Each structure stands twice: as structure tokens, then as C-alpha cells.
Amino acid sequence: MGIPYARAIDAWRAAAPAAPQACALAVPELLRGFHPDHRPGGMRVLRAGASAGSPCPAELADLLQADSPLEDVDIAGAPMLETDVLVIGGGGAGCVAALTAARAGARVLLATKLRIGDSNTVMAEGGIQAAVGAEDSLQRHFEDTLRAGHFAADKALVAALVSDGPDAIRWLIQEGMSFDLAEGAQRMGGTLLRKTPGGASAARLLSYRDFTGLELMRALREATLLQPGIVTLDRHPAVELLTDDRGRCAGAALQDLGRGRTVLVRSGATVLATGGSGRLHVAGFPTSNHYGATADGLVLAYRLGAPLREVDSFQYHPTGIAWPRHLEGALVSEAARSSGAALVNALGHRFVEELRPRDVVAAAILREIAEGRGVERDGCTGVFLDTPSLEQATPGILGRSLVTLTHLARRAGIDAAAEPLLVRPTLHYQNGGVAIDPACRTVVPGLLCAGEVTGGLHGRNRMMGNALLELVAFGRRAGASAAADARGERPRNVGLTHLADWRRALIVQGLPLGRKAPVIFPAYGNFDIAPARGRAA
């Protein structure tokens, strides 16, 4: 496929540092030819449900058009918990929503699949966007986000995101999160360190080292665990939502993995914050996502009648590890490219401006590989991320601010200051999701969504740093709306009535009832939710 490593490394050495080079192909042709969203035969048209008629990747369509693992008998006699607000998902968005709802006076139950905090949020590296620079503005952030998303985003959601930005940062500091300061700046009255995310017109990315998500999640997890009024349930994934006789979302059926039994939760309002779907390995790609990212929230909301949007659009992060195989898919943060690391093909040439939007850079890398200019090592193919030239230009940068990258290189068995990393695109983010309004409400009364599970904010491509801002901004909005909604009428006659309609719809379309979803864990996790009910995992 590619050019052998030994030859490629010689070419790299001879040319380093390689001169900048723009991509010769125009963006539309590049995307159409090489972005995985456009691969022939990859999409299927949804036939059942609120978004019938829309294209959707085959891997996801199978789950969206599957049957529930639950039957009426499974919930008869199951223990029932009561709460004002049920939050499903213990990542960033879930914790923010839970904190906000509890502080607004609601009793909150937070149920999560793994342990609270084990999520995509804790893995975020590069940073969080907020327009705080003097030369920057909310308007610029607004326009950059729309442009990066190819103008497919909902303007009302984007406006909500960017205008909440600065206050979201203040909120995070109040919760005890640290941020990097500009070189030599004082903690009191200094300025924040700002980097330029790909596709932005101003330096707007705030960070904490290159483990921004870890710093954020550590603070939020402690805050959530200590907040009076929040009960947390680890190892309790939601397997179905509950409805009442008026079609209102009335809570959820959780699977208690430790005891192998179903637990029902009746709630005045339910917030889905289950994150993304990288572990579906769409188009056969490796992923940067955490183990629990299996699109459960999309499946649950869709079955209840909530339309989805832009679910045919995924983000492939340009720089996942391509070699060694045991680290395949692991993320090399965009911080490396923001700091000046170049992408170099097996001929020693640069081939794209590294800070173009991610879909463009990813497609450019896939093109190099497809056209035989990739680097091949032990059967893995990628291109070089030239960390040695970066270290040479900015001595000490790897050890000082690209800590995670340096650690990753060490685990790959290489010294990033001497040898370039081998990278290729990795499935990173689900650009679309459940349609919401700026208060995080879906069309289903009582059901709210926040974070990566939602759609409409990023259009067809997300900018770096907007997902962390999203989970704070919309987590707070969802928590406030949920607390308010929970004060309304309580759900009555709670059950699974929606499933009868759903099964009828599947049958009408000739879709099989044998397939069950959500899957909870990826197939290689050797766990199947349907037969596992009634057994401890």
C-alpha cells in the first residue's frame, strides 16, 4: 500500500523541516473523493421513525431501527425509584446538568454506564473555546462555528453556545478548574493562554496543558459527588426510556450490571447525556472514543419519537495513532498542529495546510494514503507528524506543553523529539444527533438532551474546543430546564406503551425484530444485553 518506513524516514530526514504546501485539490473534490462520510455505499436511508427518509451510516441505522431488549414482563415487579430529574450519562454534560438541576432545588438521580467520569470528556486534550480575547468577539466565534460546519448548523443553538462561552469559563473556575495563563501572566489579573483552533479567525482555545478534559472532569466529578441532592448510580446503563399514557417521557429502565436486574426510575424530567458513538467504528475506522461510546442515547431518544439531524456526518480526527497497533486510534491532540507540528508524507513532503478544518485535513491524509504516498510500518499505514522539527524550532515544547503526546510516544516506544509519529484519521466525533432547541428540549415532552448526543450545533463539522464548551453551556441549560419541567405535572401510568407503536412500525417496514439495541458495549466487549438481563455481568 504505502512506502516502507525505512525509506520514508530517510525522505523525511532529508527534507526536514519540510516547506509548507497547500493541498492542490479544491475542498469540495477533496471531501467528496476522500472523506469517509462520502464513501460509496456507506449510508442507508432510514425507513422507520421520526427521521425516516434521512441518510445514516449503516452501522448506526441498524441500531436505530432495532427493537428494545425489554418486554412488559421485564419491568413488571422491577424496583421503582422516584426522582425529580433523571440524568442519564456521567460524563461532562451529565454532571453539569445534574449540578445545575440540584442547585435549582430538584432531587436528582444520575445513572451512568461505567463509573462516573469514565467518558469522552475526561479524554479531551486540546481545549475549550470561548471568545475572550480583545481582538476576538462573540460574533467571530459565531461565524467561525457556522463556517466550519458548512453552514448546516442551527443559528439559534450556535448563538446560545458562543454567548454562554465566557460565563461557562467563569463557572468552571468557580468549580475549581484551572486554566493555562499566558506566558508570565499573574493568576490575579493576568490573561489566559489562547491558541488558535483549526478553522478559527482568532486565538480562542483555552486549555489546561494538553489534558483539559481530565482537569475539567476531575473538578466536575468531585463537585457532583459532593453536591447534596444528587444520588449517583454507577454501572447502571439505561436500556429503555419509559413513557406515560400521554406520551411524556417518564424516566428510564436501567440495567443494574452488578446485580443483573432491571431498575425503573420514574422522573418528572429526563436528561439524556450519553455522549457519542465512536465505538460503533463507522466505516471500519479505529476510534479515539472511550469504551462506552455506543450511541445508546440516539437509539433511546429516536425510539421515543425524537428526530435526529446530521447523523450522516462524522468527524474523523486527522491525527490518530497509526502505529503501533496496540495504540491504534489513540488521539494525538490538535494542540500538536496548533503548536506548529507539520504533516509529512512518505516522500518527505507536506501536502495540506495543517490548520484547515478537520474534515479537510483528514481527507487530505486519506488521499495521501490512497494514492500510495503513505508510510507503511508493520502493516499499518499513515503519514508522519513531524514532532522532531517542532521540538527543534521550539526547544522544550514536547516536555512542557505537549505532555500527553510525549507520554503517548513513549508508550509507542519512540522518542517524539527524535522520531516522527505515524498518524492517520481516527473516528472522533458524531457531528449530528438528537434535535434540540436552545433550552435543550426535544419534541418529546419531558425529554431533554445535552452534549455530544445532540445535533444541530456543529453542522457538518465540529471545531476543536466547541464540544467541551457545548457540554458546559448546554449542560447548564438542560439542568435548568429539567428542574423547571420536573415541577410540572408528574407522569402517570408509566410503562413501555411506546414500544407497541415502534414494533408495529418496524414490522410495516419489513425490518427485523430480532436485532436489539442499545448495545451498551462494543461487540468485542463480549457482552450481550439481551440474554444478559437477569444475570450479573
Partner 1 sequence: MADISTLAEPVRFVFDGHAIETGVRTSLLQAWVGAGLPLTENVGCMGQGVCGACRVLVRRAGERLACTALACETLAEPGMQVSFLDHFPASRPHAYDLRALTDSWTAIDRIDAVFPEAKNCRHCSGCDRACPKGIEVQRMVNLAAAGQALAAADLFDHCVMCNLCVAACPEHIDPAHLGQFVRRMTASLTLRPSDLIMRLHEIEEGRQPIDPDAPGANPLVAP
Task: With residue 213 as reference, give the H or E element that holds it.
Answer: helix 212-226
**Cell numbers given for 3:** 512506502
Site for ligand FAD in 340-399 (CB under 6 A): none
Binding mask 85-114 for ligand FAD (x = CB under 6 A): ---xxxxxxx----------------xxxx
Q: Which does 199 bind (CB under 5 to 8 A by kind): ligand FAD, partner 1, none?
A: none
- 98, 108, 128, 361: which one binds ligand FAD (CB under 6 A): 128
Give the C-alpha distances (Å, rounded to integers) separating 431 from 427, 428, 455, 459: 11, 9, 7, 7
Whether 477 is catalytic: no
Determine, following the binding rule CB under 8 A, whether residue 138 of this chain makes contact with partner 1.
Answer: yes
Residue 34 vs 211, nearer CB to partner 1: 211
Q: How far apart are CA 100 and CA 367, in angstroms?
A: 45
* Of the candidate residues 17, 229, 340, 525, the single one contacting partner 1 (CB under 8 A): 525
Cα 364 off chain centre by: 22
Least distance to partner 1 from the beta carbon of 167, Å? Answer: 7
Residue 111 binds which one of partner 1, ligand FAD, none, with CB within 5 to 8 A depending on kind? Answer: ligand FAD
DSSP string, 4-63: EHHHHHHHHHHHPSPPP---SS-HHHHHHHH-GGG-TT-EEE--SSTTTT-EEEHHHHHH
Q: What is the DSSP string of 500-534?
A: HHHHHHHHHTT--SS-B---SS-GGG---HHHHTT
The Cα-based distances of 368 to 19, 294, 380 in angstroms read 17, 30, 14
Q: Which of 337, 358, 377, 460 is catalytic?
A: 337
Instruction: Show the cell assigned to 321.
Output: 495513532
Looking at 355-437, which runs of residues are DSSP E strands? 375-377, 380-386, 421-430, 433-435
Cell of 229: 441532592
- Asked if 213 touches ligand FAD (CB under 6 A), the answer is yes
Query: Count of residues for the chain?
Result: 537
315 binds ligand FAD (CB under 6 A): no
Q: Does 502 bind partner 1 (CB under 8 A)?
A: no
Interaction partner, residue 508 (partner 1, ligand FAD, none; CB < 5-8 Å by kind):
none
Helix (H) or strand (E) holding 314: strand 314-321
Query: Which lies closer to ligand FAD via its Cβ, residue 65 or residue 288?
Result: 288
Q: Which residues of 322-341 are buried (b: 16+ CB within 10 A; e: fewer)?
A: bbeeebbbbbbbbbbbbbeb
Size of the site for partner 1 (CB under 8 A): 79
Print the binding letters for residues 209-248 with partner 1: x by CB under 8 A, - otherwise: x-x-xx---xx-xxx-xx-x-----xx-------------
Under a CB-based contact definition with an 8 Å cutoff, are residues 318 and 362 in contact? yes
- The site partner of 6 among ligand FAD, partner 1, none (C-beta below 5 to 8 Å per kind) is none
Residue 150 is among the residues annotated as catalytic for this protein = no
Residue 218's nearest CA partner among 94, 92, 400, 86 is: 92
Residue with smallest beta-carbon separation from ligand FAD:
91
Q: How far is the CB of 420 from ligand FAD (least distance, A)?
A: 20
Q: Which of 107, 194, 266, 317 is catalytic?
A: 317
Give whichever of 47 and 103 is closer to partner 1, judged by the CB atom.
Answer: 103
- 11 lies in the site for ligand FAD, by CB under 6 A: no
The entry of partner 1, ligand FAD, none near residue 494 (CB within 5 to 8 angstroms by kind) is: none
Catalytic residue positions? Answer: 317, 337
Kindly list the residues in this chain that would bind ligand FAD in the complex (CB under 6 A): 88-94, 111-114, 118-121, 123-128, 212-213, 237-238, 273-276, 288-289, 292-293, 296, 331, 429, 451-453, 464-468, 471, 518
